[in-house]
């Protein structure tokens, strides 16, 4: 399949005649060094991107990808090294327009202004001016419509940008980038917040644009996606360039080895079930119904790991959130370790013995400016002292224990969580979920936006927790998260449609999540 | 793109856009426009109620009176609205309103009459007032933008300092015997209406056009909505912030000039407590305290509504001692009304 993709993608575009493979590279960055105080973010890094290719940049968190992006987009000047675009030296940093004509980046963090309309976002600071030198909104709207139509983005230019979905927002940002004349676009983890179907639509769009001569630099934690969409891959590790190779010639194990610097275990060996059938079920859900799902009934035994799979909108996240009390208004019963917490109350669910990792760590997971110690003990104040007073010593002790247990990379428990990398942030969230030795652990997309090694580590922790007799519920559409489950419940359009025992093949599960029956 | 071609032609894409409209919560655009007019029904209701309470209400004299009493504070609302849209706050506007004409009076009023120094001839009073306003704005901008201090606390500090300076130079007393030039704007009649009303209305009209139809105005919204995105779009955000903060202080000084002219004096407590009404009017008028949202027209309707209600209460013969409590209550009720009509949670 990968080979077939590759054969199709580099079709020459009609726009650019100089797109022969021998033409000058779109971007060439050589010997880039960038230091931030004592840390070296890039150490002699290099990347060469040829016209028309889709180039993947991979590396673990902290490998220097983000720094390279800011150097390539002209947000930061490298301390050493050169950047050239199509053979010409990069413009001055202050010349934003020149940079925007060469390169554009769709960041994880939106650069769309939510309070303005799509049209205005597209033409911000370059509005159409009428005869009287005032902005002609008609002109702006029309140009926006033309632009969106040209790149077949199906969004009404009058929509307030805050109403856009993540996917639409990315398309709008890509269209805006193209409107500046840039034909080289950096996508910084574009799929992190998208579900399977949206990712496919994004990839279709990328392939379309490839055919029209647009070059991409694609940054992702999901190796699967790189094999699907990219031609070349460059691996960074510890601020250095490790390897650049055609994707087809770099098997997955070698790619992971290049990223981690060691050979990764080829596959997770099947864990023996640690289900304890004698103990009270960790979670028992009976006839749970609400707006987006209905009649959900299942049990999670003590020591059992149960997956709750399904595409976005299938109701899996909602079910998991109802279990831990983040959502109210459901009918039916939720019983956690023999207790029936008050529905819709997170404290009640926690008191009943639940620990959970919410869907979006940035929104619900932690308080960015509070320390690791405070964040990881946020839900267990009673263990930090009596009568409402907190003991700092006990808090730091507890936090240190958790830092060690989860191997969080930090100089100490007092560091604010916002200073950590994505993987370590997620570990802090996990630490909090585990802080009170829960009887039930609920994880929603626990490895979203987390690098390969941290992912392995987090999932390993989950297994350990299950071994100790905790029931685990993982709501995710990420196959790697679900691989270690004793069984996977598949939700489709708000109903549990399948139950798949361990030992499934990827295509079985994906087919079930998409509501396709392979046997039919 | 040729600008002239695009300017006044009706968009040919209107049809396809209209086709797509229903899929996106039909009729959003009228809704967005309506939010701008959210307070208009409330204003109409108050006008009707006022007319029932006292037939004087809708007479031209009374309306002019309402507009004139609100003209000075309306300029503060205008200034604060700009500052709020870029996601800053300026609490010191109310003391600027007192200090700027206060300093001018101090320099101009002849010795012997109160605390005047009589250093400058009377003609210098207006430039001096405006210069003090600009100076205060520069200090604020320097601290907030150049040194990156928290705008709320900086202007809170400035509020206290400036008020203290005015008390210091005036000895806690009121400046009288202001020169003719200082009285002009507050007392003159242009085309049958007080000049201060004209100044207020014209400045609001200019602000509406600038914020809605110029790149500079739109950059205010961009900065308030997402400053990083604004920078990425090539907007010189610091420069815009400087202009907004300094212009805000300048407007406050102008408001002080109007008020001093109307009252023919500068009290040491001039402007005291105005800032609360200013914030209330802005929020009622749909300006978000989180930046990037709201229009100048909305802000104008906000302050207009507040003053109309106050006027109705006065006409209804509410005892003066209760006006304060009622003012606070009005603000809360107006907020609730605008929440109901605006439909969105106020941030």
d(CA A255, CA A334): 43
Q: What is the CATH number of the domain that holds A508?
A: 3.40.50.300
Is residue B12 a part of any domain in this protein?
no
pLDDT score recorded for residue A362? 73
Is residue B200 a part of any domain in this protein?
yes
Q: Is the pTM of this model over 0.90?
A: no
Q: Are residues A193 and A101 in the same domain?
A: yes
Q: Are residues A208 and A158 in the same domain?
A: no
- Highest mean pLDDT range out of A44-48, A442-446, B177-181, B258-262? B258-262
Is residue A315 a part of any domain in this protein?
yes
| Beta carbons of A156 and B230 less than 8 Å apart | no
Closest CA to B271 of B53, B48, B93, B128: B93
State yes or no: pLDDT of A380 exceeds 80: no
d(CA A326, nearest CA chain B) in Å: 21
Number of domains in chain A: 3
Of A86-90, B23-27, B35-39, B143-147, which gets the smallest average pLDDT? Answer: B23-27
Domain boundary among A163, A195, A227: A163
Phi/psi at A355 (5° precision): -130, 145
| Beta carbons of A125 and B222 less than 8 Å apart | yes
Q: Are residues A363 and A445 in the same domain?
A: yes
| Beta carbons of B7 and A127 less than 8 Å apart | no
| Beta carbons of A129 and B222 less than 8 Å apart | no
pLDDT in tens, A182-191: 889 999 888 8
Is residue A345 a part of any domain in this protein?
yes
| Residues of chain B with C-beta less than 8 angstroms from the C-beta of A96 | 232, 234
Number of domains in chain B: 1
| Beta carbons of B228 and A109 less than 8 Å apart | yes
pLDDT score recorded for residue B50? 92
Choose the closest CB to A116 out of B17, B209, B225: B225
Domain encompassing residue A15: 2-109+181-260
The chain B residue lying nearest A129, using CA atoms, is B3
Mean pLDDT computed over B302-316: 90
pLDDT in tens, A474-497: 998 887 888 888 889 998 888 888
Q: For residue A111, what pLDDT band results from cuts at 50, 70 and 90?
A: confident
| Beta carbons of B226 and A114 less than 8 Å apart | yes
Q: Are residues A103 and A156 in the same domain?
A: no
| Beta carbons of A124 and B218 less than 8 Å apart | yes
d(CA A132, nearest CA chain B) in Å: 9
Q: Are residues A431 and A489 in the same domain?
A: yes
State yes or no: pLDDT of B275 exceeds 50: yes
State yes or no: pLDDT of B22 exceeds 60: no
Q: Are residues A123 and A87 in the same domain?
A: no
Residue with tokens 């390539």: A72
User: Strands A471-475 and A440-444: what pairing?
Assistant: parallel
Choose the closest CB to A124 out of B29, B222, B224: B222
Q: Are residues A19 and A87 in the same domain?
A: yes
Percent of the residues in chain B that have a pLDDT greater than 70, as a whole number: 87
| Beta carbons of A111 and B293 less than 8 Å apart | no
The chain B residue lying nearest A144, using CA atoms, is B13
d(CA B224, CA B229): 10
| Residues of chain A with C-beta less than 8 angstroms from the C-beta of B234 | 96-97, 100, 125
Q: Are residues A255 and A124 in the same domain?
A: no
Percent of the residues in chain A that have a pLDDT greater than 70, as a whole number: 90
Mean pLDDT computed over B131-160: 95
* Residues linked to residue A36 through DSSP beta bridges, in sequence order: A39
Domain encompassing residue B264: 37-342
Residue with tokens 């209209």: B18
pLDDT score recorded for residue B16? 38
Q: How far is CA B199 from CA A128, A171, B70, B193, B195, in A?
A: 30, 46, 12, 11, 6
CB A509, CB A500: distance < 8 Å: yes
State yes or no: pLDDT of B76 exceeds 90: yes
Residue with tokens 């010409």: A88
Domain boundary among A245, A260, A275: A260
Q: For residue B198, what pLDDT band results from cuts at 50, 70 and 90?
A: very high
Is residue A378 a part of any domain in this protein?
no
pLDDT score recorded for residue B177? 87
Q: Which of residues 221-250 of B touch A (CB under 8 A)?
A: 221-222, 224-226, 228-230, 232-235
Helical residues (DSSP H) of chain B, grouped into ranges: 3-7, 14-20, 28-36, 40-53, 60-85, 93-108, 125-141, 151-170, 180-187, 195-213, 215-225, 227-232, 237-263, 274-284, 296-315, 320-342
Q: Which of residues 281-340 of B touch A (CB under 8 A)?
A: 288, 291-293
Is residue A131 a part of any domain in this protein?
yes
pLDDT in tens, A170-180: 889 888 888 88
pLDDT score recorded for residue B7? 37
d(CA A325, CA A355): 11
d(CA A124, nearest CA chain B) in Å: 7
CB A499, CB A488: distance < 8 Å: yes
| Beta carbons of B12 and A115 less than 8 Å apart | no
Helix (H) or strand (E) holding A37: none
| Beta carbons of A116 and B292 less than 8 Å apart | yes
Is residue A243 a part of any domain in this protein?
yes
The number of residues in chain A equals 520
Is residue B253 a part of any domain in this protein?
yes
∠ CA B258-B260-B265 to the nearest 5 degrees?
Answer: 165
Is residue B28 a part of any domain in this protein?
no
Choose the closest CB to B3 out of A110, A128, A156: A128
Q: What is the CATH number of the domain that holds B216?
A: 1.10.3470
Is residue A403 a part of any domain in this protein?
no
**CB contact B13 to A (< 8 Å):** yes
Choose the closest CB to A135 out of B11, B215, B291: B215
Mean pLDDT computed over A284-302: 87
Is residue A44 a part of any domain in this protein?
yes
CB neighbour class for B25 (10 Å; exposed up to 12, middle 13-18, buried from 19): exposed
Picking from B233, B286, B289, B347 by the largest number of A CB atoms within 10 A of its own CB, the best residue to mutate is: B233
State yes or no: pLDDT of B324 exceeds 90: no
| Beta carbons of A143 and B1 less than 8 Å apart | yes
ipTM of the complex in this document: 0.76
d(CA B146, nearest CA chain A) in Å: 19
Instruction: Reduce the DSSP state of residue B204 to 3 states and report it.
Output: helix
pLDDT score recorded for residue A23? 73
State yes or no: pLDDT of A47 exceeds 60: yes
d(CA A154, CA A152): 6
d(CA A324, CA A353): 10
State yes or no: pLDDT of A128 exceeds 70: yes
Q: Are residues A90 and A146 in the same domain?
A: no
∠ CA A470-A471-A473 to the nearest 5 degrees?
Answer: 135
Choose the closest CB to A125 out of B17, B32, B215: B215
Choose the closest CB to A159 out of B24, B232, B293: B24
CB A245, CB A233: distance < 8 Å: yes
Two tokens, residue B310: 């106050």
One-character DSSP codes across A256-309: HHHHHSSPPPSSPPPPPP--BTTSPPSEEEEEEEETTEEEEEEEE-BT-EEEEE
Helix (H) or strand (E) holding A488: strand A487-492
pLDDT score recorded for residue A473? 92
Instruction: Reduce the DSSP state of residue A52 to 3 states and report it.
Output: coil
Q: For residue B345, what pLDDT band results from cuts at 50, 70 and 90?
A: low
Which residue did the predictor score with more confidence, A256 or A200?
A: A200
User: Strands A495-501 and A487-492: what pairing?
Assistant: antiparallel
Q: Are residues A208 and A82 in the same domain?
A: yes
Q: Are residues A135 and A17 in the same domain?
A: no
The chain A residue lying nearest B212, using CA atoms, is A135
Q: Are residues A246 and A363 in the same domain?
A: no
Domain boundary among A260, A291, A322: A260
Is residue A256 a part of any domain in this protein?
yes
Size of interface A-B (CB pairs under 8 A): 120
Is residue B32 a part of any domain in this protein?
no
| Residues of chain B with C-beta less than 8 angstroms from the C-beta of A142 | 6, 11-13
């Amino acid at each position: 399949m990968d080979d077939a993709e590759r054969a199709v993608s580099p079709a020459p575009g009609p726009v650019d005649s100089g797109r022969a493979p021998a033409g000058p590279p779109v971007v060439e960055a050589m010997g880039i060094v960038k230091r931030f105080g004592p840390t070296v973010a890039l150490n002699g890094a290099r990347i060469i991107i040829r016209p028309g290719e889709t180039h993947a940049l991979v590396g673990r968190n902290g490998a220097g990808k983000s720094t390279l992006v800011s150097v390539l987009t002209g947000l930061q000047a490298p301390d050493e090294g050169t950047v050239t675009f199509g053979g010409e030296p990069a413009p001055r940093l202050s010349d934003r327009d020149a940079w925007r004509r060469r390169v554009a980046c769709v960041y994880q963090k939106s650069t769309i202004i939510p309070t303005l309309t799509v049209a205005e976002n597209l033409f911000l600071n370059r509005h159409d001016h009428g005869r009287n030198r005032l902005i002609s909104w008609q002109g702006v709207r029309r140009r926006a419509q033309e632009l969106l139509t040209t790149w077949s983005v199906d969004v009404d230019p009058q929509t307030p940008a805050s109403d856009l979905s993540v996917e639409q927002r990315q398309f709008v940002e890509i269209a805006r980038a193209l409107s500046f004349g840039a034909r080289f676009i950096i996508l910084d983890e574009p799929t992190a917040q998208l579900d399977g179907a949206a990712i496919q639509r994004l990839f279709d769009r990328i392939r379309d644009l490839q055919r029209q001569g647009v070059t991409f630099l694609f940054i992702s934690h999901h190796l699967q996606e790189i094999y699907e969409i990219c031609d070349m891959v460059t691996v960074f590790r510890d601020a250095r360039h490790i390897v650049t190779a055609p994707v087809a010639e770099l098997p997955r194990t070698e790619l992971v080895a290049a990223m981690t610097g060691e050979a990764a275990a080829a596959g997770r060996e099947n864990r023996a079930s640690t289900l304890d059938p004698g103990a009270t079920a960790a979670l028992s859900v009976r006839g749970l119904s609400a707006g987006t799902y209905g009649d959900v009934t299942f049990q999670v035994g003590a020591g059992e790991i149960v997956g709750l799979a399904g595409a976005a909108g299938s109701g899996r996240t909602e079910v998991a959130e109802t279990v831990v009390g983040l959502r109210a208004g459901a009918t039916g019963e939720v019983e956690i370790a023999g207790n029936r917490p008050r529905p819709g109350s997170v404290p009640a669910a926690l008191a009943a013995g639940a620990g959970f990792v919410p869907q979006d760590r940035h929104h619900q997971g932690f308080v960015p400016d509070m320390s690791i110690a405070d964040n990881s003990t946020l839900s267990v104040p009673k263990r930090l002292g009596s009568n409402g007073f907190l003991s700092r010593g006990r808090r730091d002790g507890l936090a240190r224990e958790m830092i060690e247990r989860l191997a969080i990379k930090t100089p100490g428990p007092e560091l604010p969580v916002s200073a950590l990398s994505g993987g370590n942030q997620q570990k802090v969230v996990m630490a909090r979920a585990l802080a009170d030795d829960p009887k039930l652990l609920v994880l929603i997309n626990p490895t979203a936006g987390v690098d390969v090694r941290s992912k392995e580590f987090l999932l390993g922790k989950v297994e350990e927790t299950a071994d100790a007799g905790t029931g685990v519920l993982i709501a995710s559409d990420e196959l790697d998260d679900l691989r270690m489950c004793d069984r996977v419940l598949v939700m489709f359009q708000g109903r549990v449609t399948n139950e798949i025992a361990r030992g499934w093949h990827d295509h079985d599960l994906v087919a079930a999540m998409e509501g396709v029956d392979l046997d039919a | 793109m040729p600008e002239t071609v695009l300017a006044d032609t009706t968009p040919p894409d209107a049809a396809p856009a209209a086709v797509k409209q229903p899929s996106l919560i039909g009729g959003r655009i009228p809704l967005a426009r309506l939010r701008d007019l959210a307070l208009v029904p409330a204003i109409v209701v108050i006008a009707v109620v006022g007319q029932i309470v006292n037939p004087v209400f809708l007479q031209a004299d009374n309306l002019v009176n309402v507009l004139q009493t609100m003209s000075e504070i309306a300029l503060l609302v205008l200034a604060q609205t700009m500052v709020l849209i870029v996601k800053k706050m300026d609490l010191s506007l109310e003391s600027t309103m007192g200090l700027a004409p206060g300093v001018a009076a101090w320099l101009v009023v002849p010795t012997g009459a109160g605390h005047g120094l009589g250093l400058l001839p009377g003609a210098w009073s207006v430039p001096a007032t405006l210069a003090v306003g600009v100076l205060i704005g520069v200090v604020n901008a320097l601290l907030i933008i150049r040194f990156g201090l928290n705008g709320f606390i900086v202007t809170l500090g400035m509020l206290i300092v400036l008020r203290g300076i005015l008390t210091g130079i005036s000895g806690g007393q009121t400046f009288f015997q202001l020169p003719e030039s200082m009285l002009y704007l507050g007392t003159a009649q242009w085309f049958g209406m007080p000049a201060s009303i004209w100044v207020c209305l014209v400045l609001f009209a200019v602000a509406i056009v600038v914020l809605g139809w110029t790149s500079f105005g739109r950059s205010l919204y961009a900065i308030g909505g997402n400053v990083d995105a604004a920078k990425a779009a090539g907007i010189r955000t610091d420069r815009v912030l400087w202009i907004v903060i300094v212009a805000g202080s300048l407007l406050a000084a102008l408001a002080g000039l109007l008020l001093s002219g109307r009252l023919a004096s500068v009290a040491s407590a001039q402007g005291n407590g105005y800032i609360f009404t200013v914030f209330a009017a802005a929020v009622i008028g749909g300006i978000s305290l989180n930046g990037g949202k709201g229009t100048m027209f909305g802000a104008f309707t906000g302050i207009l509504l507040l003053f109309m209600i106050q006027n109705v209460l006065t006409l209804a013969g509410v005892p003066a001692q209760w006006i304060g409590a009622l003012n606070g209550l009005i603000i809360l009720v107006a907020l609730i009304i605008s929440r109901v009509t605006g439909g969105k949670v106020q941030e």
